[in-house]
Amino acid sequence: MTIEWESHPGEEQLHVVATTPEQVVAEVIAALTTLVARDPGGEPAERTISVTAEDRAGLLVELLGELIYLAETEGFVGDTATVDLAERRLDAVLGGRLTTIDPLVKAATYHGLSFEQRGGAWHARIVLDV
């Protein structure tokens, strides 16, 4: 399992590789937390997210949109996730915390977006506007 922030001159480009698509989703959630949480502590909290999209890659954009909204409006960031993933629907129960956030990430984009199985592993690539 790897998480890599790839070179992009203006934005943050995330590349995650994992053995299952659910693990990819959990790592994407954790990666966003590393970008926006300014404080390692916080009050424990749990949130449930359900999103739909036209395809699996679009689910990542919708998921990140929900997470950005929760971070900005509640200060919630996810640390762990139980993920139920189908082709066009994603449900996740997030364990996390209410903390101080850096309002760095504006949105998740569709540019160069991918979420696919290659060479026996699942890969996701997504560009975040920062």
Partner 1 sequence: MPASFSTSDLRRIGEAVWEIAPSGAMRVPARVFADDELIAAIAGDASLEQLKNVATLPGVVAPVLAMPDVHQGYGFPVGGVAATELPDGVVSPGGVGYDINCGVRLLALPLTEEDLGPRREALVHEISRAVPAGAGKESRLYVSGIDLDHVLRDGSAAIASGNDVAHTESHGCLPGADPAAVSSRAKERGRGQIGTLGSGNHFVELQCVDRVHDATAAETFGIAPGQVTVLIHSGSRGLGHQVCTDYVREMGAAMARYRIALPDRQLACAPASSPEGQAYLAAMAAAANFAWANRQGIADAVRSAIGRTLGQAVAAGTVQVYDVAHNVAKVEEYGGREVLVHRKGATRAFPPGSAEIPERYLGVGQPVFIPGSMGTASYVLAGEPGSMTESFGTTCHGAGRLLSRTAARKRIGGSELRRELEARGIVVRCPSPKGLAEEAPFAYKDVERVVEVVERAGLARRVARLVPLGVVKG
| List 82, 111, 116, 117, residue binding partner 1 (CB under 8 A) | 111
Q: Segment near partner 1 (CB under 8 A), from 20-28, 72-80, 81-89, 115-123?
A: 72-80
Can residue 88 be called a binding residue for partner 1 (CB under 8 A)? Answer: no
3-state secondary structure the chain: CEEEEECCCCCEEEEEEECCHHHHHHHHHHHHHHHHECCCCCEEEEEEEEEECCCHHHHHHHHHHHHHHHHHHHCEEEEEEEEEECCCEEEEEEEEEECCECCCCCEECCCCCEEEEECCEEEEEEEEEC
Output phi, psi for 6, to 5 deg.
-85, 160
At 113, the amino acid letter reads L
Which one of 1, 2, 19, 38 is in contact with partner 1 (CB under 8 A)?
38
Q: Which stretch binds partner 1 (CB under 8 A): 23-31, 82-90, 94-102, 117-125?
A: 94-102
Minimum distance, C-beta of residue 14 to partner 1, in the bound complex (Å): 11
CB of 8 to partner 1, least distance (A): 5
Residue type, 52: T
Considering the complex, state which of residue 54 and residue 84 has its C-beta at the smaller distance from partner 1: 54
Residues making contact with partner 1 (CB under 8 A)? 5, 7-12, 38, 54, 65, 68-69, 72-73, 75, 100-104, 106-107, 109-113, 127, 129-130
